[in-house]
Structure 1
Amino acid sequence: MSKLNFKGSVMLNPAPVVLVTSKNKEGKLNVFTVAWISTVCTKEPIIAMGIRPERLSYDYIKESEECVINLPTKNMVKTVDYCGVRSGRKEDKIKNLGLKLNEGVKVNTPSLDQAPFALECKLKSITPLGTHDLFLLEVLNVKVDEHLLDDKGKICFNEADLICYSHGEYFEINSKPLGSFGYSVKKKTKIKKN
């Protein structure tokens, strides 16, 4: 199959899309949308997030050294888009959207009650890169909606109706797994015939 070549760009798609809540030292809250985000380490649990320096949340997270990463559902897609195009410098998005907050456990920043998962994070470092700066965030606590746990305590992400972002559009994540980690090399058990 022939391929076309494009100049170097960030064409890593799809990407998770999240709503990040942050709070400055005066107690002012903000929420904004981020799609440049990824897990980068398991122990300690570290997430990398790219933020433009002109964003209000950049200042809030830098100042408070914490934030909460909220994983939105398909029912929250309008909120996700709104929080990505409206500035917290001009309006209180949390109030205007009627978002309910849930008090932090390990941080002073609240999470969004509507989001089924909330990762409470502490800022480890900021590295200037260009249009965005790289924030490394240590996950201190994870809140999970109780109804997403099965009877054995396993988290059922496939039941959460999470969404992703791909080249300017939002998509729901299909809830049917294509396989599980290691399935391609898993040994098959032989059935003995009597």
Structure 2
Amino acid sequence: MSKITFKPGTMVNPVPVVMVSCGSSEEEYNIITIAWTGIVNSEPPMTYISVRKSRHSHGLIEKSKEFVINLCTEELARQTDFCGVKSGRDMNKFKEQGLTPVKAEHVACPMIQESPVNIECRVREIHEYPSHDMFIADIIAVHADEKLMDEKGKLELEKAGLICYSHGDYFALHKKPLGKFGFSVMKKKTKKRLENEKRKK
């Protein structure tokens, strides 16, 4: 297979797309759409977001050292895009997009009610880079819609209708999974049991 070589670029795709809510008071509440985000540590659970210094949310997060990551769905695709291209300096994005700010448990900034999963974060480090600053944060609480929980208390994220971002486009993640973690080395007996459990649902 022949390959075409490109100059260095941000070609790790797809990536998560999330709406990050921030601001310590109702007057400051803002939402910024972020694609440069992910997990950096498991124990303790830590995440990051990378934000340009020029963005209105950068100053809010730098001041409060807090933010909430709100996962995005197909139903929220339009709001997700809007909050990434418009500035909170010019408007209240919650009101403009009909989104509901909800009080978080541990941070002053709001959660987005319409998002199926909200992740409260507290910044522990800020790393400055040429185009973006990376806010590394501890995950201090996770909230999920009750309708995503099965009868055993397991979170079924596949029911949320989540979206991702790939090379300038938004994509829905609604296809069936190709396999669970470890499926390549799973014993036949275990695989059969899991298939039977899946059929019963």
The 3-state SS of whatever aligns with 2:95 is helix
Equivalent residues of 1:24, 1:63 under 8 A apart: no
SS of 1:171 mapped into structure 2: strand
Which amino acid in the other structure matches residue 42 of structure 1? S
1:2 aligns with 2:2: yes
Counterpart of 2:176 in structure 1 is 176
- SS of residue paired to 2:161: coil
Q: Contact conserved, 1:70 with 1:115, CA < 8 A, in 2?
A: yes
Under a length normalisation based on structure 2, what TM-score does the superposition of the two structures give?
A: 0.91
State the distance in 2 between where 1:165 and 1:110 align. 24
Gaps of 5+ in 1: none
Alignment pair present for 1:37 and 2:37:
yes
Q: Indicate the residue corresponding to 2:111 in structure 1.
A: 111
Q: Distance in 2 between matches of 1:189 and 1:110?
A: 46
Residues in 2 aligned to 1:98 and 1:171: alpha-carbon distance in whole angstroms = 22
Q: Which has the higher helix share?
A: 2
| CA deviation profile, 1:86-132 (whole Å, cap 9, x unmatched) | 00011111111121121101111110000000000001111011101
Select between 82-91 and 23-32 the one with higher mean Cα deviation.
23-32
Equivalence for 1:21: 21
1:189: how far off?
Answer: 2.8
Deviations 1:157-180 (A, max 9, x none): 100000000111100002411100
User: 1:154 is matched with which residue?
Assistant: 154
**TM-score if structure 1 supplies the norm length?**
0.94
Instruction: List per-residue Cα deviations over 1:49-93 (Å, max 9, x = no partner).
Output: 111011111110110110100001100000001000000011111
Specify every segment of 5 or more residues in structure 2 that has no aligned partner in the other structure, as ranges: 193-201
Counterpart of 2:123?
123
The count of aligned residue pairs is: 191
Aligned with 1:147: secondary structure? helix
1:187 aligns with 2:157: no
Shift of 1:26: 7.9
Q: How does 1:15-94 map to 2 (within 5 A)?
A: 15-24=15-24, 27-94=27-94
Following the alignment from structure 2 to structure 1, what is the Cα–Cα distance between the partners of residues 173 and 129? 30
Letter paired with 2:151? D
Quick one: structure 1 residues 175 and 160, their matched pair in 2 at CA, closer, same or farther if it must change by over 3 Å?
A: farther
In 2, the alpha carbon distance for the partners of 1:95 and 1:26 equals: 11
Amino acid of the structure 1 residue aligned with 2:14 = P
When the two chains are superposed, the root-mean-square deviation of aligned CA atoms in Å is 1.5
Structure 2: distance between partners of 1:176 and 1:26: 40
Conservation of the 8 A alpha-carbon contact between 1:161 and 1:175: no
Write the letter of the residue equivalent to 1:145: D
Deviation at residue 27 of structure 1 after TM alignment: 4.8
